[in-house]
Amino acid sequence: MEQEKKRFFENEQTRRDFLKFSGKSVGGAIVSLSVLNLIGCAPEEEASAPPVETAVAFALPQGMLVADKAKCTGCQRCESICNALHDGKMQPYTARVRVAENYNYGPDGPKINWANADGNFGNKMMNPETCKQCREPFCGNACPVDAISADPAWNNARVVDTEKCVGCGVCAEACPWHMPRLDPETGKSSKCVSCGACATYCPTDALKVIPWEDIKTAMRRYKRNFA
């Protein structure tokens, strides 16, 4: 197991490498004019991505959970709903959607201009972290026991098979956003399956599951404009 982890992490991956590999750069951008605003796609990044028709080893998911930070109030109800539904307990650390970690200072942490930056201590803009359901997921490709796959039962979302998972944590380290999490009680990894429960119970509609076809259409349109 240690040899597998060492072999993976010795292969340095740059941000551009990731863009070429996954076909997307995804972040918590404000929703405005298009689906791509939801997933934080910058023109120069999209220009470096491969065509959306590129063949991949994982079946494409039917949808992706995205967050609108302009609507998020930081109530963290999404975390509670996620934990209660999937784990039967309240443990925000393992929630598949996360708000608490960015609550005070945003995703970049404390900085000199913290008063004007995202977070409760700044401009009050919250940044919920969500799984991007990557076309070629780093977590799935890194798993040494093939415990992560596109599960048809969850509309091809990338799902952890807890029967196979050995708790090595490689998936969490491989993900650029560290979205998979190891449950300290079970020793198993978990990640978002885009079930949409958090979006259903969000009081401000800050979360929603966007159909993958809409994302692909927006990617093509963006690529024509900025390639």
CA dihedral angle for residue 77, residue 78, residue 81, residue 85, rounded to 10 degrees: -170
SS3 call for 215: helix
Structure tokens at 75: 């109530």
pLDDT at 152 over 60: yes
* pTM of the shown model: 0.68
Confidence of residue 16 (pLDDT cuts 50, 70, 90): very low
Beta bridge partners of 207: 67
Higher-confidence residue: 111 or 39? 111
Residue 160 in domain:
yes
Question: What is the number of helices (H) and of strands (E) in the chain?
Answer: 9, 6
Residue 42 in domain:
no
Residue 32 in domain:
no
Higher-confidence residue: 225 or 87? 87
Higher-confidence residue: 52 or 113? 113
pLDDT at 212: 76
The CA distance from 11 to 117, in Å, is 34
If we measure between CA atoms, which residue out of 136, 119, 111, 116 comes closest to residue 20? 136
If we measure between CA atoms, which residue out of 210, 169, 221 comes closest to residue 26? 210
pLDDT at 73 over 70: yes
Q: Which domain holds residue 192?
A: 2-12+62-211
Structure tokens at 127: 């940044």
Q: What is the mean pLDDT of the chain?
A: 78
Residue 22 in domain:
no
Higher-confidence residue: 157 or 48? 157
Which CATH number goes with the domain that contains 117? 3.30.70.20
> What does the pLDDT average to over 199-208?
95
pLDDT at 44: 43
Residue 52 in domain:
no
pLDDT in tens, 74-101: 999 999 999 999 999 988 889 999 999 8
Considering its fold, how many domains does the chain have in total? 1
pLDDT at 63: 87
Residue 175 in domain:
yes
Residue 112 in domain:
yes
> What does the pLDDT average to over 105-128?
89
In one letter, which amino acid is 168? C
Residue 134 in domain:
yes
φ, ψ of residue 74 to 5 degrees: the values are 80, 20
pLDDT at 57: 72
> What does the pLDDT average to over 192-217?
89
